[in-house]
Each structure stands twice: as C-alpha cells, then as structure tokens.
C-alpha cells in the first residue's frame, strides 16, 4: 500500500523532525502506519503560541505524506477540532485535534 517513494518521504520527514529533538522518534511513520492499518488516526498540534511548536512541525510533515497518498489514489478525509484550552503551551495557544480517515478511491 505504501510505495517506495512514500516510504523514503516518511523516513526523510522523521529525520528532519529528529534534528529538532534529542530523542530519536518515528512519529510520522507511526501516524501513517496507524492510518493505513486501522483506517483512522487522531493527531494534534499547538497553534497560536508565538512560534511553530514541534507538534505543529510534526503535523506539517505528516500532511506532506498525506498529499503523496492522495496522489497515489487514496481518499483522505479530515475532521478538525479546536480544543477549548488556552493553556496548551507555556506561551498560550490552542490545541487542535485532527481525525483522518483513509479509503482507496
């Protein structure tokens, strides 16, 4: 289901994220595997906190991979929710939750 090009993009996305973290993670790969395996994944990120938070950077990398999956012929739907907490980070901001579902077109 995941082509070699998409797999390389996932590896590159995780590598970019690991440059800003002291802990090696495979966050984008984990999100994509859950989406493809279960058909749905829930993720989130902080916004409006004065700078691009690491959770927002992860989300941006994940969205790039979603674009590749769409080009491969998958239909991906997204539901967005803004949580009602103004204290999602030290600098304020809001937590946004996104639920993605995937089906083959």
Domain 4-104 - what CATH class?
Answer: alpha beta
Strand, helix or coil at 9?
helix
Give me the pLDDT at residue 26, please: 94
Give the contacts of 92 (CB within 8 A, at least 6 positions apart): 48, 49, 50, 86
Question: In sequence order, what DSSP letters do the residues of 41-78 get, joined into one string?
Answer: EEEEEEESSSS--HHHHHHHHHHHHHHHHHHTTEEEEE
pLDDT in tens, the chain (105 residues): 789 999 999 999 999 999 987 778 899 999 999 999 999 999 988 876 566 778 889 999 999 999 999 999 999 999 998 777 655 556 666 788 999 999 986
pTM for this prediction: 0.85
Give me the pLDDT at residue 47, please: 77
- The domains of the chain are located at 4-104
């Amino acid at each position: 289901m995941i082509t070699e090009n998409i797999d390389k993009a996932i590896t590159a996305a995780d590598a970019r994220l690991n440059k800003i973290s002291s802990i090696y993670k495979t966050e984008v790969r984990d999100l994509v595997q859950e989406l493809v395996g279960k058909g749905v994944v829930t993720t989130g990120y902080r916004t409006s906190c004065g700078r691009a938070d690491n959770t927002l950077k992860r989300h941006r990398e994940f969205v790039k991979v979603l674009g590749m999956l769409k080009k491969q012929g998958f239909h991906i739907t997204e539901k967005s929710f803004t949580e009602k907490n103004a204290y999602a980070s030290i600098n304020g901001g809001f937590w946004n939750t996104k639920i993605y579902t995937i089906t083959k077109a």
